[in-house]
Each structure stands twice: as structure tokens, then as C-alpha cells.
């Protein structure tokens, strides 16, 4: 990604970076966040014949979900930044 401020990037680059950011976000959600969330849900709601799970394991999985959630929020903010920059660039072109 470019180190230039978003308001100094050409519109084409903004679209390209926003598309890349959207793909990264989708990959993160599919490959990291949702699987971690599902694993935590399985621990929190075990099947009747499942082994008992310790508190440490649940806390550890919850911490992983929270870490992944924080990363998700950061990625969403980057996406919002690109979209806002695109909107601003389009407004100034009128």
C-alpha cells in the first residue's frame, strides 16, 4: 500500500486500494474471525456427550475472538477511510 495521504492519491489508486482492502477484510472474516467465533460458540454450548471444557480454555478462545474482532474493526476503519477518500475525491471533481 502507498504511504501517501489518501487525499493525495489518484482516484484510480483509491479504488484499487479499496478493492484490495475489501478482499483482505473478506478473507480475514472467512478464514479467521468466523471460524474462531464458531469454535467459541461450540465451547460455550457443548453437545450433551461432549467432554467438559475448562474455564481457561473458554477464556483463551474468547480472547482470540476479541483479538480478531479488534483486527476486524481496524480493517473496517481502513475500508471506511478509503471509501470516504473516494467520496471526497468525487465531490471535488464536480
Calculate mean pLDDT across residues 40-50.
Answer: 85
Domain count within the chain: 1
d(CA 49, CA 85): 53
Query: Does residue 65 have a pLDDT over 90?
Result: yes
d(CA 18, CA 81): 9
Tell whether 46 is covered by a domain: yes
Query: What b/e string do you get for 34-46 counting C-beta neighbours within 10 Å, with b at 16 or more?
Result: eebbeebeebeee
Q: Identify the band that residue 60 occupies on the pLDDT scale cut at 50, 70 and 90.
A: very high
Mean pLDDT of the chain: 92
pLDDT given at position 1 = 58
Query: Does residue 93 have a pLDDT over 90?
Result: no
Tell whether 53 is covered by a domain: yes
* CATH number, domain with residue 77: 1.10.287
Q: Which residues are CB-contacts of 18 (< 8 A; sequence separation ≥ 6)?
A: 79, 82, 83, 86
Tell whether 1 is covered by a domain: no
Tell whether 59 is covered by a domain: yes
State the residue range of the domain holding 73: 6-93
Q: Identify the band that residue 6 occupies on the pLDDT scale cut at 50, 70 and 90.
A: very high
pLDDT given at position 20 = 97
Query: Which residue from 29, 26, 21 is spatially nearest to 68, judged by alpha carbons?
Result: 29
Amino acid at each position: 500500500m502507498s504511504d501517501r495521504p489518501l487525499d493525495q492519491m489518484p482516484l484510480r489508486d483509491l479504488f484499487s486500494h479499496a478493492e484490495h482492502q475489501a478482499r483482505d477484510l473478506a478473507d480475514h472474516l472467512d478464514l479467521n474471525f468466523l471460524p474462531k467465533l464458531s469454535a467459541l460458540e461450540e465451547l460455550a454450548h457443548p453437545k450433551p456427550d461432549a467432554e467438559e471444557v475448562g474455564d481457561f480454555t473458554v477464556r483463551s478462545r474468547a480472547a482470540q475472538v476479541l483479538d480478531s474482532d479488534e483486527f476486524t474493526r481496524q480493517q473496517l476503519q481502513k475500508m471506511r477511510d478509503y471509501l470516504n477518500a473516494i467520496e471526497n475525491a468525487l465531490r471535488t471533481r464536480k
